[in-house]
């Protein structure tokens, strides 16, 4: 930390002392006799109170010309002043330095629309409520990693450049790669399974994933941070779900403890620490119950649509008071060939989605680990085995039973903080029409 | 963890008990009366000892046909046997299940070359010495994050897709992006500075970076995991160097404590926890001293080449017994325009490289934070300001003094573990000729 720097939230312990504060000019209230200035750092706001000294007063001159959002360093005395709302104290400055002046007339203000705010994201982030999102994100990841470390996970970094498009190729970004084409990984799925095949017992990764989907909803991005988990030697998919439950409970408990009050104050959202177990319902049961309530009147749906997800969440909330619900046993027809199917039930997969507040945040499953079964399931879906050879090779030399899940970090943050869009939960959002800044 | 699973390293606490072990067939020694089998999990090896029961003995039949590297589940009794080297115990199996059979004849063995091993990386990773690299990597990152959290850093995920090539464009991968061209980020440099401009006090990121360099050395990859740090309100570059020192000392102390013995045993490398401060030398002094020793006889070098780096490391080791050395004050001519220059010394930058064991592992600097100075320095380098507008905009509204550094995780691991190449320190290496598996 810079020599002698005092954070604004620590000022109370320096009453009557001299401190140096670094921050931005938040508000200027220049009066005839007094100059009042609010200075902001990442920990809070403090008022400077300077009595004008007239001609030759260097502080007066600086405060008369400094612009809002300039970066400043202030040295001064911390005095108690019960009339000041900001902690009942103020600083009487002895030295004011402008380290970097802001141009006057900021390009965005509190009335700016989302797109304009994203164009000037760094200015947007100077608002404490926006920055809070990323303080919470740090806590979320710290809690996830703590649970992973306790569970014996190895954190891996899987490649984002792939030699072949993983699935259909339709939603994959091509990259020019020394005269050939590479593709950006849509998910670490293949690689984390390869790690399991390599004897890494449990794999954890937080990293970027890329989706070339022209989607413009509040829940989609072309690049987002994925949280990926894969566990070897599982007895069944229930073990994977239990791990995710444990992880999310820890995340929400730590966010509640560290940021609950500020989230309520700045964002108006309440952080509820969920009880375990989360409710579970099979997709077939869920659809039957929703249809009884009028959903999908034609009876043609094979999966939940967003309206069905919301209706199911409402049902779960009503019956169990729970914000989460696991939907299990997706039919083999709607899940990829590599899903494991429970013994004797070839029509369903050992899979789940997790809904939170009516939005899907996770897809998970036990994977099929037996080479012959995998090949048969791929053929059943009408797939050619040739293009799958690299994937299938990983199952030729003794790969244990395993399962895992993937979760989008921004979607989790959006739901956690009650934000209207993942654009607000991403440092620099990327969508079909947005590659800047 | 799977119901009732016992890890091999925990067997000693189950003497005379019945356990279930999950792992791979490591070695088969099938004798006339006895079948001895070594089973391996990620925590160790254990011997199974089965006395043949003759026809109708299901265990005998399975062990006679099971192949090496098959994934198995064994239930049996743990007995003391002082003649067995593996912890003085063995398992007498009561049940042996083959969960996934390996094809016989593995595609690689201990004589396989590096390229062949990388083709079958998952089988390569089943060797404990290879997997140790990633256990150490987990510890390295955990230690880095602990230091960052104590220092008040926010962990961010900056975008890997950029709308414009950051620097010359020559070493950037182009991506087809909905009818336009995006580029893969060569470093989070721009974005972490944007976060600082956004009032995030200190920024930390571990994530992929992409370099379209056709380099085939043991130290280069086209995709690698970068560790990036950026700190606001620094008084100078020394503060950045001190933070890196603190981080690396913690990393090496934790790796030494957690893995020192196994690293010595499996890889033959010694982990030395360095003292602070690391030695520091200006580039000018370093070059003068090396030239006195015969380096660069033509006197034309403007920077250290790999031979100069090794010679400097030897010098530092001899004089201070230190494996690390900071080289500081690179001339303005060899560093990018955005480097800060110390007051009154426009010919040098407030920058450093960190060498470890004669190899550069870090480049760092204080950045220029004043808009006018940045523009002047860019013009001085003959750059057009137009293409830099997005970058320069971040400095128009009060960006504090700041500095940071970047570090390649695989290069650090390679040096830490005495590996011959970063290919051994990367889960799945990517180079100009390698995009698989």
Instruction: Spell out the per-residue pLDDT of chain B, length 437, in tens.
Output: 445 899 999 999 999 999 999 999 999 999 999 999 999 999 999 999 999 998 999 999 999 999 999 999 999 999 999 999 888 999 999 999 999 999 999 999 989 999 999 999 999 999 999 999 999 999 999 999 999 999 999 999 999 999 987 655 568 999 999 999 999 999 999 999 999 999 999 999 999 999 999 988 888 899 999 999 999 999 999 999 999 999 999 999 999 999 999 999 999 999 999 999 999 999 999 999 999 999 999 989 999 999 999 999 999 999 999 999 999 999 999 999 999 999 999 999 999 999 999 999 999 999 999 999 999 999 999 999 988 898 999 999 999 999 999 999 999 999 999 999 999 999 999 999 999 99
| Chain centroid offset of residue A331 CA | 29
Q: What share of chain B is helix, strand, coil (3-state, %, to 5)?
A: 35, 30, 40
Residues A96 and A137 in one domain: no
Cβ proximity of B187 and B406 under 8 Å? yes
Task: Count Cβ atoms within 10 A of the Cβ of residue B197 and give its class: 0-12 exposed, 13-18 middle, 19 or more buried.
Answer: buried
Low-confidence ranges of chain A (pLDDT < 50): 1-2
Q: What is the CATH number of the domain that holds B67?
A: 2.40.50.140
The answer as to whether A268 is a domain residue is yes
Residues A203 and A350 in one domain: yes
Residues B74 and B199 in one domain: no
User: Domain count of chain A?
Assistant: 2
The answer as to whether B229 is a domain residue is yes
The confidence score (pLDDT) of residue B1 equals: 40
The confidence score (pLDDT) of residue B2 equals: 42
Which of B5, B155, B435 shows the shortest C-beta gap to A177? Answer: B435
The answer as to whether A269 is a domain residue is yes
* A89-100 and B324-328 strand pairing: unpaired
Residues B76 and B132 in one domain: no
The confidence score (pLDDT) of residue A2 equals: 42
Cβ proximity of B40 and B69 under 8 Å? no
The answer as to whether B283 is a domain residue is yes
The confidence score (pLDDT) of residue A1 equals: 40
Inter-chain contact A208–B212, Cβ cutoff 8 Å? no
Stretch (H or E) spanning B52: none
List, for residues B48-86, the tens digit of each pLDDT value: 999 999 899 999 999 999 999 999 999 999 999 999 988
The answer as to whether A184 is a domain residue is yes
Task: Count Cβ atoms within 10 A of the Cβ of residue A203 and give its class: 0-12 exposed, 13-18 middle, 19 or more buried.
Answer: buried
- What tokens appear for B300 in the block? 């034309």
Which residues of A are known binding-site members?
Answer: 167, 211-213, 360, 363, 367, 408-411
Stretch (H or E) spanning A189: helix A189-197
Residues A245 and A199 in one domain: yes
The answer as to whether B68 is a domain residue is yes
Angle at B229 between CA B337 and CA A432, to 5 degrees: 80
Query: Dihedral through CA A119, CA A122, CA A125, CA A127, nearest 10?
Result: -100
Strands of the sheet containing A174-177, edge to edge, are: A161-162, A180-184, A174-177, B174-177, B180-184, B161-162
Q: Which residue of B has its CA nearest to A213?
A: B178
CA proximity to B200, closest of B402, B407, B391, B395: B402
- What tokens appear for B286 in the block? 């370093």
Inter-chain contact B155–A141, Cβ cutoff 8 Å? yes
The answer as to whether B109 is a domain residue is no
- What tokens appear for B34 in the block? 């006895």
Cβ proximity of B308 and B295 under 8 Å? yes
CA proximity to A70, closest of A124, A38, A25, A125: A25
Q: Cα separation of B305 and B18, whole Å?
A: 61
Cβ-based neighbour number of residue A85 at 10 Å: 9
What is B109-178 written as a DSSP string? -TT--HHHHHHTHHHHTTSHHHHHHHHHHHHHHHHHHHHHHHTT-EE----SEESS-SSSSTT--EEEET
Counting every residue written for chain B, the total comes to: 437
Inter-chain contact B125–A195, Cβ cutoff 8 Å? yes
Cβ proximity of B122 and A197 under 8 Å? yes
**Residue B427 gets which letter from DSSP?**
S
Residues A96 and A190 in one domain: no
The answer as to whether B140 is a domain residue is yes
Inter-chain contact B124–A198, Cβ cutoff 8 Å? yes
Q: Which residue of B has its CA nearest to A152?
A: B1
Which residues of B are known binding-site members for L-aspartate?
Answer: 167, 211, 363, 367
Residues A57 and A137 in one domain: no
Angle at B189 between CA A115 and CA A422, to 5 degrees: 30
Q: Cα separation of B377 and B178, whole Å?
A: 35
Residues 66-85 (A) with a CB less than 8 A from some CB of B: 67, 69-71
Residues B68 and B202 in one domain: no
3-state secondary structure of B277: coil
Residues of B in contact with A194 (CB under 8 A): 121-122, 428, 437
- What tokens appear for A17 in the block? 């002392």
Q: Could you tell me the CA-to-CA distances from A174 to A163, A184, A222 in Å, in that order? A: 10, 7, 13
The confidence score (pLDDT) of residue B35 equals: 97
The confidence score (pLDDT) of residue B217 equals: 87
Residues of B in contact with A422 (CB under 8 A): none
Angle at B234 between CA B228 and CA B235, to 5 degrees: 145
The confidence score (pLDDT) of residue B402 equals: 98
Q: Give the range of the structural domain holding residue B313, as residue numbers without chain letter.
A: 121-425
Which residues of A are known binding-site members for L-aspartate?
Answer: 167, 211, 363, 367
Residue at token pair 């085939």: B216
Rama region for B392: left / alpha / beta (φ>0; ψ in -120 to 50; rest): alpha
- B287 to chain A, any CB pair closer than 8 A? The answer is no
Q: Could you tell me the CA-to-CA distances from A393 to A194, A357, B69, B109, B122 in Å, in that order? A: 10, 40, 14, 17, 10
Cβ proximity of A138 and A188 under 8 Å? no
Cβ proximity of B352 and B326 under 8 Å? yes
Inter-chain contact A223–B432, Cβ cutoff 8 Å? no
Q: Cα separation of B435 and B437, whole Å?
A: 6
Residues B264 and B332 in one domain: yes
Inter-chain contact A233–B2, Cβ cutoff 8 Å? yes
Residues B96 and B131 in one domain: no
- A234 to chain B, any CB pair closer than 8 A? The answer is yes
Inter-chain contact B122–A394, Cβ cutoff 8 Å? yes
Residues A275 and A394 in one domain: yes
**How much is the CA Rg of chain A, to the nearest whole Å?**
27
Which of B102, B395, B427 shows the shortest C-beta gap to A195? Answer: B427
Residues 235-264 (B) with a CB less than 8 A from some CB of A: 235, 239
Q: What is the CATH number of the domain that holds A217?
A: 3.30.930.10
Residues B94 and B129 in one domain: no
């Amino acid at each position: 930390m810079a020599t002698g720097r005092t954070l604004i939230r620590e000022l109370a312990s320096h009453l009557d002392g001299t401190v140096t504060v670094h921050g931005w000019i938040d508000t200027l209230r220049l009066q005839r006799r007094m100059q009042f200035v609010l200075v902001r750092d990442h920990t809070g706001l403090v008022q400077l109170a300077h009595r004008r000294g007239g001609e030759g007063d260097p502080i007066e001159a600086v405060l008369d010309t400094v612009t809002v959002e300039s970066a400043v360093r202030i040295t001064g005395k911390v005095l108690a002043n019960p009339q000041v709302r900001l902690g009942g104290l103020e600083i009487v400055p002895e030295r004011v330095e402008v380290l970097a002046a802001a141009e006057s007339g900021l390009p965005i203000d509190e009335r700016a629309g989302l797109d304009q705010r994203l164009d000037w994201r760094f200015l947007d982030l100077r608002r404490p409520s926006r920055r809070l999102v990323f303080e919470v994100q740090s806590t979320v990841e710290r809690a996830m990693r703590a649970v992973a470390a306790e569970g014996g996970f190895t954190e891996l970094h899987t490649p984002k450049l792939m030699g072949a498009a993983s699935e259909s190729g339709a939603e994959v970004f091509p990259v020019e790669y020394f005269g050939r084409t590479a593709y950006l990984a849509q998910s670490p799925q293949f690689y984390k399974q390869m790690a399991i095949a390599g004897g890494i017992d449990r794999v954890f990764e937080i990293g970027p994933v890329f989706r070339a989907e022209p989607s413009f909803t509040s829940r989609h991005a072309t690049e987002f941070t994925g949280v990926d988990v894969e566990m070897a030697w599982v007895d069944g998919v229930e073990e994977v779900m239990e791990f995710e439950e444990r992880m999310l409970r820890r995340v929400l408990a730590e966010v509640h403890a560290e940021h609950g009050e500020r989230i309520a104050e700045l964002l108006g959202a309440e952080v509820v620490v969920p009880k375990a177990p989360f409710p579970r319902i099979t997709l077939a049961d869920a659809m039957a119950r929703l249809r009884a309530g009028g959903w999908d009147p034609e009876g043609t749906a094979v999966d939940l649509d967003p309206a069905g997800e919301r209706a199911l969440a409402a049902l779960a909330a009503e019956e169990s008071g729970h914000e989460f619900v696991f939907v299990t046993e997706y039919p083999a027809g709607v899940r990829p060939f590599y899903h494991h199917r429970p013994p004797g039930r070839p029509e369903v997969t050992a899979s789940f989605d997790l809904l939170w507040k009516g939005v899907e945040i996770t897809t998970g499953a036990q994977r099929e680990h037996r080479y012959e079964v995998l090949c048969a399931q791929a053929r059943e879906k009408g797939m050619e085995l040739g293009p799958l050879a690299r994937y299938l090779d990983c199952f030729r030399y003794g790969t244990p039973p395993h399962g895992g899940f993937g979760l989008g970090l921004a979607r989790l943050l959006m739901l956690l903080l009650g934000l209207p869009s993942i654009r607000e939960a991403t440092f620099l959002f990327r969508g079909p029409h947005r590659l800047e800044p």
